[in-house]
């Protein structure tokens, strides 16, 4: 018996990194999973992994910055898998830019995906869950950057502060439908996004990638980066029966980088 037996989950950003790790962990724990990603190949790969674990899956391609496409991704997941019990909003973009170099286009792109896309996916999923009448779980991926100074991640940090605000408001609003809404703040992980971040910092500072990558790992109090599967365990807990009375919570999985 898995923790999520009989549940249907939709995971955005499921093509790689934390999104893929979460989708596969949920499948191993008994859930059927809709894998949503902007990249068709990555979405298909994750869905095929889910199928290999003996669960139903659907690869859904969508640019979530378009509210209509975000709602369409939710509708497609329900149409193909029958219902929706869990949403994990893991899709995000990140650019490394000094504050004085940020352009309106960069600002708009980050907010379109990280805040607008997350909100309208959440809204569409919450409407489905409310109609179903059986409650639901929504898990948003935020970041320690939303609370800590992040000079090279000004826009990304601002989008994650928006995610924090949406999570709090949604938790209170959706409680009457027995839909819990929580967030996870992962620290530095071994993912393609982290590699792009460290590469951007290295390019701006004139140092090597290896030097920056090692230095940023040493700055974590626990002394190492997280594997995405470790962070996915927090999502599994929030999606499972043990967290039924938890809502409006921010789960810090940062190795001590952020201390509540």
Q: What is the pLDDT of residues 113-123, one digit of tens each?
A: 999 999 999 99
Burial of 224 (0-12, 13-18, 19+ CB in 10 A): exposed
Q: Specify if 203 maps to a domain.
A: yes
Same domain (yes/no): 102, 205: no
Same domain (yes/no): 109, 86: yes
Joined together, the tokens standing for residue 115 give 């805040």
**Residue showing tokens 């139903």:** 56
In this predicted structure, what is the pLDDT of residue 197? 84
Calculate what percentage of the chain has a pLDDT beyond 90: 86
Same domain (yes/no): 143, 205: no
Same domain (yes/no): 115, 31: yes
Q: Which residue in 59, 156, 174, 201 is the catalytic one?
A: 156
Q: Specify if 256 maps to a domain.
A: no
CB 120 within 8 A of CB 159: no
In this predicted structure, what is the pLDDT of residue 81? 98
Supply the DSSP symbol for 29.
T
Q: Specify if 259 maps to a domain.
A: no
Higher pLDDT, 258 or 247: 247
Q: Specify if 258 maps to a domain.
A: no
Same domain (yes/no): 110, 203: no
pLDDT above 80: residue 46? yes
Q: pLDDT of 118-152, one tens digit each?
A: 999 999 999 999 999 999 999 999 999 999 888 89
Same domain (yes/no): 234, 205: no
Residues 6+ apart with CB under 8 A from 131: none
pLDDT above 70: residue 38? yes
86 forms beta bridges with 9, 137
pLDDT above 70: residue 93? yes
Per-residue pLDDT averaged across 241-252, rounded? 97
Per-residue pLDDT averaged across 50-69, rounded? 98
User: How many angstroms separate the Cα of 2 from the Cα of each of 21, 27, 130, 134, 195?
Assistant: 16, 9, 25, 19, 33
pLDDT above 80: residue 1? no
Q: Specify if 17 maps to a domain.
A: yes
Same domain (yes/no): 109, 142: yes
Same domain (yes/no): 118, 139: yes
Q: Specify if 31 maps to a domain.
A: yes
Same domain (yes/no): 161, 209: no
Same domain (yes/no): 115, 178: yes
Residues 6+ apart with CB under 8 A from 216: 188, 198, 201
Joined together, the tokens standing for residue 243 give 């967290």
In this predicted structure, what is the pLDDT of residue 195? 84
pLDDT above 80: residue 259? no
Rounded CA gap, 107 and 162, in Å? Answer: 13
Same domain (yes/no): 85, 182: yes
Joined together, the tokens standing for residue 35 give 């894998």
Query: Which CATH number goes with the domain that contains 104?
Result: 3.40.50.720
Supply the DSSP symbol for 116.
I
The domain containing residue 205 runs over which residues? 188-225
pLDDT above 70: residue 260? no
Q: Which of 247, 149, 221, 230 is nearest to 186 (CA)?
A: 230
Calculate what percentage of the chain has a pLDDT beyond 70: 100
Supply the DSSP symbol for 248.
S
Torsion of CA 134, 161, 228, 183, to 10 degrees: -20
Higher pLDDT, 160 or 204: 160
Provide the number of structural domains found in the chain: 2
Rounded CA gap, 106 and 127, in Å? Answer: 31
Known catalytic membership, residue 156: yes
In this predicted structure, what is the pLDDT of residue 43? 98
Same domain (yes/no): 134, 217: no
Per-residue pLDDT averaged across 16-21, rounded? 97
**Residue showing tokens 């935020």:** 142
Supply the DSSP symbol for 227.
P
Q: pLDDT of 168-188, one tens digit each?
A: 999 999 999 999 999 999 988
Q: Specify if 107 maps to a domain.
A: yes
Supply the DSSP symbol for 191.
S
Which pTM value belongs to this model?
Answer: 0.95
Question: What average pLDDT does the structure give for the chain?
Answer: 95
Backbone angles phi, psi at 257, to 5 degrees: -65, -40
């Amino acid at each position: 018996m898995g923790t999520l037996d009989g549940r249907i989950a939709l995971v955005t950003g499921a093509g790689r990194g934390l999104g893929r790790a979460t989708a596969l962990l949920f499948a191993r724990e008994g859930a059927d999973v809709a894998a949503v990603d902007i990249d068709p190949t990555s979405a298909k790969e994750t869905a095929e992994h889910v199928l290999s674990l003996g669960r139903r899956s659907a690869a859904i391609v969508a640019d979530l910055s378009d509210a209509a496409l975000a709602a369409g991704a939710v509708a497609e997941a329900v149409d193909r898998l029958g219902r929706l019990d869990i949403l994990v909003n893991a899709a995000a973009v990140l650019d490394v830019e000094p504050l004085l170099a940020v352009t309106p286009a960069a600002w708009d792109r980050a907010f379109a995906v990280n805040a607008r896309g997350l909100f309208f996916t959440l809204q569409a999923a919450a409407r489905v869950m409310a109609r179903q009448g059986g409650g639901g779980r929504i898990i948003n991926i935020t970041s320690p950057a939303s609370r800590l100074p992040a000079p090279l991640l000004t826009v990304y940090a601002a989008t994650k502060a928006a995610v924090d605000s949406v999570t709090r408001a949604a938790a209170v609003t959706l409680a009457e439908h027995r839909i819990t809404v929580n967030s996870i703040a992962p620290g530095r992980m071994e993912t393609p996004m982290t590699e792009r971040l460290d590469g951007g910092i290295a390019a701006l500072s004139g140092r090597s990638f290896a030097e920056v990558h090692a230095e940023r790992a040493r700055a974590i109090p626990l002394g190492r980066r997280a594997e995405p599967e470790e962070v996915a365990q927090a999502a599994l807990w929030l999606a499972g029966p043990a967290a039924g009375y938890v809502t409006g919570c921010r789960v810090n999985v940062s190795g001590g980088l952020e201390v509540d």
